[in-house]
Chain A
Amino acid sequence: MNPSGDLSDDTLGAAVSDQPTCDLSSEAAVLHLPDGLFYGLNKTGAFLSERLQARVRVGNSPRTRDSGFGDAGKGGAA
Chain B
Amino acid sequence: MNQVHAYELAGVRIESSIELPLPGTAAKNGGAGIRVEMDEPLPTAEAPSRADWLWKSYQEAVLSYPSLGRARVSNGRSIVLRPCRSPEDRSTEWRGLLIPCFAAIFHQRGALCLHASAVCRNGKAYGLMGPCGAGKSTLVASLVGNGTEFLSDDLLLVEPGKGGKGFLAHPGFSIIKLWDDSLKRTGSRFSRLGRLYPDAVKEGFVPSPADSVLRTVPLEALYVLRDGDEIAVKTLPKCDALGVLLENSYGAQVFEGKPMPLHFRQCGELAANVPVRALTRPRKFAALAAVRNAVIESMDTV
Contacts and interface: CB of A to CB of B under 8 A. Distances in A.
Interface of A: 20, 22-25, 27, 29, 31, 33, 35-36, 38, 40
17 contacts: A20-B261, A22-B264, A22-B265, A24-B238, A24-B242, A24-B268, A24-B272, A27-B237, A27-B238, A29-B242, A29-B264, A31-B259, A31-B261, A31-B264, A36-B256, A36-B259, A38-B246
Interface residues of B, number: 18
Chain A contact surface mostly: strand
Nearest to B268: A22
B54 interface: no
Contact of A27 (B239, B243, B259): B239
Contacts of A25: 238, 272
A23 B269 CA distance: 7
A21 to B, nearest CB: 8
Contacts, number: 46
B181 to A, nearest CB: 37
Contact of B257 (A23, A33, A36): A36
A38 B264 contact: yes
Contacts of A40: 239, 242
Closest 6 CB pairs of A and B: A22-B268, A36-B258, A40-B239, A24-B238, A20-B261, A31-B264
Contacts of B271: 22, 24
A22 B269 contact: yes
Given A22-B264, A31-B259, A38 B243 contact: yes
Given A29-B268, A38-B246, A38-B264, A24 B258 contact: no
Contacts of A29: 239, 242, 264, 268
Nearest to B243: A38
A22 B259 contact: no
A39 to B, nearest CB: 9
A20 B272 contact: no
Given A22-B271, A24-B268, A31-B259, 14 more contacts: A22-B242, A22-B265, A22-B267, A23-B269, A24-B239, A24-B271, A25-B238, A25-B272, A27-B237, A29-B242, A36-B257, A36-B258, A38-B243, A40-B239
A1 B104 CA distance: 46
Nearest to A37: B258
A38 B242 CA distance: 9
A25 to B, nearest CB: 5
A29 B268 CA distance: 8
Interface in B229-278: 237-239, 242-243, 246, 256-259, 261, 264-265, 267-269, 271-272
Contacts of A23: 268-269, 272
A61 B196 CA distance: 60
Contacts of A20: 261, 264-265
A35 B259 CA distance: 10
A35 B258 CA distance: 7
A29 B239 CA distance: 7
A25 B242 CA distance: 12
B266 to A, nearest CB: 9
Contacts of B242: 22, 24, 29, 38, 40
A23 B256 CA distance: 25
Contact of A33 (B237, B239, B261): B261
A50 B302 CA distance: 31
Nearest to B252: A36
Nearest to B271: A24
